[in-house]
């Protein structure tokens, strides 16, 4: 039945029926908008990592890492909140970034993050062994470096043991 036929057959009550239907539709629309508001308000950021095999995590409310993807991940940032992401890959220092909807700053639709800081970890036994980088003592036992060791010479020295020399090129 067409609307014109309906109105013709219900001349006395047709107007009130349509009015009731429009009110019902309007109330349903407002209710759905209220329910969907938090979903519509959150922003999505597509994070792309270099190197492409870096793992992308978010830090949860309980300070745990939740894996979101490898190389690429879509991050949902809720309204009036923030999300901290962490990129991890062996041989690199962790890269952290915060996305926030607390300010008026616009979030990017895509964000390209490059892990530049290389991480060198030396664990030397016995702990008394001295670790030298470019002829300077930097520690003993364990050594963590987030500095670029471009063309660096690393020496391990302990009395009564032969020296071990490692040369790093462009890492």
Which helix (H) or strand (E) segment holds residue 32: the answer is helix 14-41
pLDDT at 168: 66
Instruction: Look at 10-19, 70-79, 130-139 and tell me which has the smallest mean pLDDT.
Output: 10-19
Please tell me the pTM assigned to this model.
0.59
Return the higher-pLDDT residue of 139 and 3: 139
Q: How far apart are the first and last CA of the chain?
A: 76
Distance CA 83, CA 58 (A): 7
How far is the C-alpha of 139 from the C-alpha of 161, rounded, in Å? 17
Q: Provide the pLDDT for residue 33.
A: 64
- Could you say which architecture CATH assigns to the domain 42-114? Sandwich (2.60)
Which 3 state secondary structure label does DSSP give 4?
A: helix
Q: Is the pLDDT of residue 158 over 60?
A: yes
**Residue 141 pLDDT:** 75
Question: What pLDDT score was predicted for residue 14?
Answer: 47
- DSSP string covering 39-55: HHH-EEEEEEEESTT-E
CA max distance for the chain: 110
Residue predicted with more confidence, 106 or 85: 85
Q: Does position 83 have pLDDT exceeding 90, yes or no? A: yes
Whether 112 shows a pLDDT value over 50: the answer reads yes
Structure confidence by residue, pLDDT tens digits, 11-53: 555 455 555 677 777 777 767 666 655 545 558 999 999 999 9
Give the whole-angstrom CA distance, residue 138 versus residue 145: 10
Query: How confident is the model at residue 25, as a pLDDT?
Result: 73
Q: What percent of the chain is modeled with pLDDT above 70?
A: 74
To which H or E segment does residue 74 belong? strand 72-77
For the chain, the domains span 3-40, 42-114, 120-168
Phi/psi zone of residue 137: left (φ > 0), alpha (ψ -120 to 50 degrees), beta?
Answer: beta
């Amino acid at each position: 039945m067409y609307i014109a036929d309906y109105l013709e057959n219900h001349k006395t009550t047709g107007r009130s029926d349509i009015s009731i239907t429009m009110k019902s539709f309007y109330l349903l629309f407002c209710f759905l908008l209220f329910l969907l508001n938090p979903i519509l308000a959150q922003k999505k950021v597509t994070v792309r990592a270099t190197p492409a095999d870096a793992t992308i995590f978010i830090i949860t409310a309980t300070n745990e890492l939740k894996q979101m993807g490898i190389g690429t991940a879509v991050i949902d940032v809720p309204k009036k909140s923030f999300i901290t992401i962490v990129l991890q890959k062996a041989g690199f220092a962790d890269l952290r970034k915060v996305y926030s909807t607390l300010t008026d700053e616009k979030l990017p639709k895509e964000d390209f993050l490059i892990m530049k800081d290389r991480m060198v970890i030396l664990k030397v036994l016995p702990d008394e062994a001295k670790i030298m980088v470019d002829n300077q003592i930097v520690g003993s036992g364990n050594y963590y470096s987030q500095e670029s060791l471009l063309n660096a010479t690393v020496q391990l020295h302990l009395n009564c043991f032969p020296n071990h020399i490692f040369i790093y090129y462009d890492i």
